[in-house]
Structure 1
Amino acid sequence: MGVFLFPHFIPSGGGAGFSVLLNYWFHVPLSIALWMVNSSMLLFAVHYLGGISALGTLLGITFTSISVNIFTVYVDTPFSNVWIDLLFGSVFFGTGVSVLLRQGVSNGGVGVIALIISKYKKVSPGKPLFWINGVIFCITAYVIAWEIVVQAIICQWISTRVISWLYNAVLPRNILTFDFVWRKK
């Protein structure tokens, strides 16, 4: 997000959309705004998903915010084309979120709500995530620029396809999976 999406003010999700708005309105650094928005959803995670999932979510939020800060400050985007950055950012974002969701941990923000809907409605979390984020993107586009909504929806479409594909993929247990949540399944 910090290398490919945020330099173009493209929100990768609902939490990032709110973060972009906080940065735009109040000049709050993106990493801090991202942590504030995402950590506010921990109450939902504790109540609906359990304490272990909330702890994993807090770790994911913290590592994401630190990474965004490091990448925003120290790494320049390798491309100067917004569409190439959009493609790479969407794929990397979707891959990271799917790793978290496979472990029953959210990436924070509205990912918590999507995971709750997924748990109770028995659907892939990619679908509710897309629709919730779409509403937030429209608000962001209205406030900042309408062009952003097109890029944000494309980002969501690509990343939620990656999330749904990797979330439902059958992978050997010891390859490409990590145990962020330490509980018996």
Structure 2
Amino acid sequence: MSVEQQQQISIEAVTKHHKLTAAQILRRIIFITVGAALFSVGLEIFLVPNNIIDGGIVGISIILAHVTNVPLGIFLFFLNVPFLFMGYKQIGKTFAISTLYGVTIMSVCTALLHSVPPITIDPLLAAVFGGIILGIGVGMVIRFGGSLDGTEIVAIVFNKRLPFSVGETVMFFNIFILGSAGFFFGWDHAMYSLIAYFIAFKMIDITLEGFDESKFVWIISDNFREIGETILQRLGRGVTYLNGEGGFTGDDKKVIFCIITRLEEAKLKALVDEHDPSAFLAIGNIHDVKGGRFKKKDIH
């Protein structure tokens, strides 16, 4: 699942969310504050001093600040706010307020950090570590119901009017912005910007899902009972047997469904291969798991 899909799901969840408790509001404020502050550190301490940009509204803000010498924080705030009003009805009050708060913290922290000297002047190191810090910051804000860039909001608002998905719209917009960096900072820095963007993209995934992310598994085998019992005994994971029918043969089939962690994937493949090397096996990522008997645990 892509980051844009995850953020869209996060937005939809927030719009359907019931009234938050005081503890939930405080937790959200703390994590959005920390996430926005980390994002600002990635920008002002690593990327901006080395003429490396990010995608979306942030990238446009960096370019405009470079051309006009106006403080970056001003562009970050005033370019993002209109998109919040544009998508207010579609994204909901809670998400809009969370995003406005995150953008405000990001803008203020960026202004405060502007005079702080960069940690490195090596553009490759800046792209790598700046991308890591940016990704963690954005991931924290998304995870707690906000956003730091109006690009996704625009894509969601116009999703029903355009023949493109949210992810495709955001990707096209970001490619255009990152490509523009070549005209203002040189093509070497445009390529460093792509490196930083890719690293940030992956770090958002890790922040949202964790290193120990969950995966779903479908197994079709005539030895379903032996495989299911082995998964129960040796992995300690519950399994569900579903009834299926072969599309070509019309034969009745039993389908094993279970949830595992990424660390258990290799072991599960070995267990299935041990009982039926020709078994059909499909594994996919899951954004979140709740309920039932599934609990993440260490592998011994």
Class of the TM-score when normalised by the shorter of the 2 chains: 0.7 to 0.9
SS of residue in 1 equivalent to 2:80:
helix
- Written as runs of structure 1 = structure 2, the 5 A alignment for 1:25-174 is 25-73=67-115, 75-113=116-154, 116=156, 129-169=170-210
More strand, by proportion: 2
**In the TM superposition, what whole-angstrom CA distance separates every residue of 1:49-108 from its partner, at most 9, and x where no partner exists?**
1111111111100101111111112x2112231211211110010001011111231112
Distance 1:54 1:21, change over 3 A: same
Query: Does the 8 A contact of 1:130 with 1:160 survive in 2?
Result: no
Residue 220 of structure 2: aligned partner: none
Computing the radius of gyration from Cα coordinates, the structure with the larger value is 2
**In the TM superposition, what whole-angstrom CA distance separates every residue of 1:121-167 from its partner, at most 9, and x where no partner exists?**
xxxx8886554312211123234422222111111100001112222
Residue 51 of structure 2: aligned partner: 9
SS of residue in 2 equivalent to 1:90:
helix
Query: Does the 8 A contact of 1:126 with 1:160 survive in 2?
Result: no
TM-score with structure 2 length normalisation?
A: 0.49
Alignment size in residue pairs: 164
Distance in 1 between residues matched to 2:92 and 2:189, nearest whole Å: 35
Distance in 2 between residues matched to 1:30 and 1:9, nearest whole Å: 13
Distance 1:72 1:83, change over 3 A: same
Distance in 2 between residues matched to 1:93 and 1:129, nearest whole Å: 17
The Cα of 1:32 is off from its aligned counterpart by 0.9
Residue 181 of structure 1: aligned partner: none
Distance in 1 between residues matched to 2:209 and 2:86, nearest whole Å: 24
Q: Which sections of structure 1, spanning at least 5 residues, go unmatched? A: 172-185
The Cα of 1:16 is off from its aligned counterpart by 1.9
Distance 1:60 1:54, change over 3 A: same
Distance in 1 between residues matched to 2:67 and 2:196, nearest whole Å: 23
The Cα of 1:112 is off from its aligned counterpart by 2.9
Distance 1:143 1:131, change over 3 A: same
More helix, by proportion: 1
| Aligned-pair identity (%) | 26
Distance in 2 between residues matched to 1:83 and 1:126, nearest whole Å: 27
Distance in 2 between residues matched to 1:20 and 1:166, nearest whole Å: 25
Larger RCO of the pair (alpha carbons < 8 Å, separation 6+):
1
